[in-house]
């Protein structure tokens, strides 16, 4: 089964509001990454948080990681219509000497003007 | 940042034909490359992991004889969908990891395959 599970599956907000997406996972991780994908397009890497970090910021993005609860959250502040996209968390897990990324199901974010 | 390209960006083919997708790391040497498949409104599913010069490791449920992966050089991996059928229509995304920055995977822009 997939390592990461996001919630909510879909989120609809107005411009200017904050959007929070959550991700839960099952096993120990090296790091957790968040990606964005516009409809039918490739992935855009947003932010990486290591297993020994608890919070990280990048512009309007804030990511938290709670390894005891095996969960992470992505907060987008002051959202814009251009933030409309699908957001995926991905866990970097070591397997047999190399590491691999496993993606969650994603959250579809719709930001209305 | 590191760049990964894919070619073609989209392809339409008839059922029964084979399609080759190329994935190139443009400014770094990729010791490991990954192939993902994404169906509409779904997440990325890892199909296989390939290390340069060795056979690919396929995920459970992925037919190795149908999805041929070749990682012959440190900058090129190819995925060949053999005898494609309509159910193989999907978005195929490759990613590459270099041996220097092994914690970061760089993703290609994806290839959309439509099998008629």
CB atoms B45 and A99 under 8 Å: no
Question: How many interface pairs between A and B have CB atoms less than 8 angstroms apart?
Answer: 48
d(CA A71, CA A64): 8
Positions of E strands within B1-116: 4-7, 10-13, 19-25, 30-38, 44-51, 57-58, 67-73, 76-81, 90-98, 106-107, 111-115
Q: How confident is residue A97, by pLDDT bands cut at 50, 70 and 90?
A: low
Can you tell me the mean pLDDT for A43-55? 94
Q: How confident is residue A2, by pLDDT bands cut at 50, 70 and 90?
A: very low
Question: Chain B 50-89, CB below 8 Å of chain A: which residues?
Answer: 51
| B102 near A CB under 8 A | yes
Q: How confident is residue A94, by pLDDT bands cut at 50, 70 and 90?
A: confident
Can you tell me the mean pLDDT for B42-64? 90
Q: Specify the pLDDT at position B1.
A: 65
What does the radius of gyration of chain A's CA atoms come to, in whole angstroms?
Answer: 14
Q: Specify the pLDDT at position B99.
A: 67
Q: Specify the pLDDT at position A3.
A: 61
CB atoms B34 and A100 under 8 Å: yes
pLDDT score of B81 more than 80? yes
Q: How far is A77 from chain B, CA to nearest CA, in Å?
A: 24
Which residue from A41, A92, A105 is facing B43, i.e. has the nearest CB?
A105
Q: Above pLDDT 90, what percent of chain A? A: 77
Can you tell me the mean pLDDT for B96-111? 79
Instruction: Give contacts of A100 with chain B, Cβ < 8 Å.
Output: 34, 46, 49
Q: How confident is residue A40, by pLDDT bands cut at 50, 70 and 90?
A: confident
Instruction: Give contacts of B41 with chain A, Cβ < 8 Å.
Output: 108
Which residue would you say has higher pLDDT here, B54 or A89? A89
d(CA B11, CA B89): 10
Which residue would you say has higher pLDDT here, B28 or A65? A65
């Amino acid at each position: 089964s997939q390592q990461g599970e996001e919630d909510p599956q879909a989120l609809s907000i107005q411009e200017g509001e904050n959007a929070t997406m959550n991700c839960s996972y099952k096993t120990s991780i090296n790091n957790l990454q968040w990606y964005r994908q516009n409809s039918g397009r490739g992935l855009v890497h947003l932010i990486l948080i290591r297993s020994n970090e608890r919070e990280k910021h990048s512009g309007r993005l804030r990511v938290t990681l709670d390894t005891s609860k095996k969960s992470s959250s992505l907060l987008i502040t002051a959202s814009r219509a251009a933030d409309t996209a699908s957001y995926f968390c991905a866990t970097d897990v070591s397997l047999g000497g190399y590491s691999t990324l496993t993606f969650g199901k994603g959250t579809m974010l719709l930001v209305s003007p | 940042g590191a760049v990964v390209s894919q070619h073609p960006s989209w392809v339409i083919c008839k059922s029964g034909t084979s399609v080759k997708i190329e994935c190139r790391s443009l400014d770094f040497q990729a010791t490991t490359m990954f192939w993902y498949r994404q169906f509409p409104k779904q997440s990325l599913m890892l199909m296989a992991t390939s290390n340069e010069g060795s056979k690919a490791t396929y995920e459970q449920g992925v037919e190795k004889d149908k999805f041929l992966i070749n990682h012959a050089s440190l900058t090129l991996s190819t995925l060949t969908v053999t005898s494609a059928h309509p159910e193989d229509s999907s978005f195929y995304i490759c990613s590459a990891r270099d041996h220097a920055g092994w914690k970061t995977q760089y993703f290609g822009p994806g290839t959309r395959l439509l099998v008629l």
